Amino acid sequence: MYLVGTSGLWRVQLGADGQPDILSRVIAVPGSELSSVVTTPEHNRYWTTDGGQSLVVLTRDTASFVAGLYRVDLTHGTATPWYSASQEIDDPWISKARIVGSPVRNRLVLVAEDLQHPAEVWTASAWDQPRQLTKLNASIGVGSLPGGRMIKWQDSSGRTLRGVIMLPGGYAEGRRYPLVVFQFPGEHKSERVNHFGGDDAAGLMNMHLLTTRGYAVLLPDVPSGGADTTLLGATWRAIGGGVDRAVALGIADSARLGIVGHSFGAYGVLGVIIATPRFRAAVALSGGYYDFPAQVLQLQSDGGVIYTKTGVYQLGGSLWERPSAYVANSPVFFLDRVTTPLLLVNGDADPYTLPTQSAQVFVGLRALGRKVEYAIYPGEGHNYLSWTRSHQEDVVNRILEWFDRHLKAPQQPE
């Protein structure tokens, strides 16, 4: 039996009693993680062309996230490259049927995408290079969508972080563009460099909704730092260097910065605009965690609670053990520091981040005389992908109009 781990391909030999006896590593691909083995249609045996002497593994380069296929000689413990590309590849398999009229029996079949091209089906016979089999999105041709690149920077503690800078349509070197940062605390969005649209190809967070309208987009790493009693400022400490890097590269206009986040990413948005006045527009989608004492005591409609002693809050103890940490990391207590215009968006049936949390922020900012709008959608939950089409279209247009108003239109005197 063979097992795939990020450190390589492992062989398990069974003892006389049929129980696992010896575990040994067959191969490792330097600089890459192994993610799967190419299987037969039954998905319980590995595919082989030589009676079981070799198999094929899918790898992912840990620096560039380039996908690769390697043929592994199980006898000698060697790996030979078959295919590599700057793509995100789902687990490949071997077909046993016909697909769209093409004979693909006993051929490799895989689904692949990249930053500029949505997922399509590819196929190959051993050991030919895969070729694209489907063209489900014929309107998206070569070069019709903007590309991007990986960038690096140092955060406030000296750690090297990475991110994806997606270029705007019609990008011209030497011209600066409005920049929108899409972030989520605890995520490494640099790993999305080969995903179509940079994040969710099918949803509101397909960043080509912005790039095709003249915006550059930054998808930054925001690593979690364990117990952190200054969680509220952690996102800005992580992404500030990335914003500066995009400006230093001559891509971003430092006077036209925007930021957006969903769920806990909305909390990241509030943390950033409390920490710095540099952003001219912000959008917080399906947000909560704005008032931690109220959030952890929230009673859900099914009678459950989302209270956790540490969990996502990372505050080192319960509300009663560390009340000052809960207050210090609650944006509602620091709204007087916000100068960035903010758009809040929620579904009124969200069971995880109740609209009352966004309502608190809206009321507070209005009381302080800040620029804020609140859009609430009836019957919608937390995941925008499940929203009705009319509501998805409305919120997309609302977000685009918000960024256009504040990042493209000439600024009016206060």
- The tens digit of pLDDT for each residue in 395-408 reads 999 999 999 999 99
Q: Residue 20's pLDDT is what?
A: 75
Distance CA 71, CA 30 (A): 15
pLDDT digits (tens, 9 = 90+) for 17-73: 878 778 899 999 999 999 999 988 766 789 888 889 999 999 999 999 999 999 999
**Cα–Cα dist 59/89, whole Å:** 9
Whether residue 260 has pLDDT greater than 90:
yes
The half-sphere exposure of 48 on its side-chain side, counting CA atoms within 13 A, is 12
Q: Is the pLDDT of residue 99 over 60?
A: no
pLDDT of amino acid 84: 95
Residue 87's Cβ-side half-sphere holds a number of Cα atoms within 13 Å equal to: 21
Residues 199-215 pLDDT 10s: 876 677 899 999 999 99
**What pLDDT shows up at residue 101?**
45
- Is residue 6 pLDDT above 90, yes or no? no
pTM: 0.90
Q: Give the domain ranges of the chain.
A: 2-132, 148-408
How do residues 327-350 score in pLDDT, each as one tens digit?
999 999 999 999 999 999 999 998
Q: How far apart (Å, rounded) are the C-alpha atoms in residues 117 and 137? A: 9
Would the pLDDT of 105 be above 70? no
Q: What is the pLDDT of residue 180?
A: 98
Classify 404 as helix, strand or coil: helix
CATH code 3.10.20.880 for 148-408:
no
pLDDT at 208: 94
Question: What is 192-257 written as a DSSP string?
Answer: GTTSGGGS-TTSTT-THHHHTTT-EEEEEB----SS-TTGGGHHHHHHHHHHHHHHHTT-EEEEEE
pLDDT at 243: 98
DSSP character at residue 39: B
Cα-flanking dihedrals φ and ψ of residue 210, to 5°?
-95, -45
